[in-house]
Amino acid sequence: MGLCSIVVLVVLGQLLGLALSGPIHASCKIDWSFSVSCDTVSSKIKGQINTWATADNCAKGGEKCLYKFVSEASNQLKAKHETPVKHYVDDLTFTFTPVSSSAGCNVQGFSTSETWYAVLDYGTNYCNLHNLITGSGLDKASGYVEKTSDSVCTQYSSANCTVY
């Protein structure tokens, strides 16, 4: 077996290992719980998207910029995020479910790369979502809980949201 064949097998083995340990395509799913209304949560996320719509924050480092509001339905917000250096675009969806027994809200966030061949993302899809929650102050809201894992969120455990 030639060196080229060995390299191909090693790469395929690593890709298989990644596929078994997390999403095959660069993406992230996060579940949040809040003890505030879904209207409040939705409004704060949308406000943060609009606050970070320009490239102004890009100059300070990180990627807390270039968000774009796309659409809103009764229980869902859609947005996009463009990375400032390579200009990759990720699609973001926030789905809101009121908690009937309280004034709380459960939210599922999903971010996925538009680049079809994206496998690894250094936690960018996680940070796309997490940064909006922390930027809006929702991480300080009553009842705040965030749940995700490497199995549903590409490179979650190594994400550095001060950079991405």
Tens digit of each residue's pLDDT (9 = 90 or more) over 15-74: 445 444 567 899 999 999 999 999 999 999 999 999 999 998 888 778 999 999 999 998
Residues 95-109: tens digit of each pLDDT:
999 998 778 999 999
Q: Could you tell me the pTM of the whole model?
A: 0.85
The rounded distance, in Å, linking the Cα atoms of 40 and 106 is 12
Instruction: Please write the tens of the pLDDT for every residue from 119-140.
Output: 999 999 999 999 999 999 999 9
Alpha-carbon distance of 126 to 73, in angstroms, equals 23
Q: Which domains does the chain have, with CATH numbers?
A: 28-158 (3.30.310.80)
In this structure, what are the phi and psi dihedrals at residue 110, rounded to the nearest 5 degrees? -140, 130
- Separation of alpha carbons 5 and 140, rounded Å: 52
Sorted by sequence, the CB contacts under 8 Å of residue 58 that are 6+ apart come out as: 65, 66, 84
* 8 A C-beta contact, residue 42 and residue 152: no
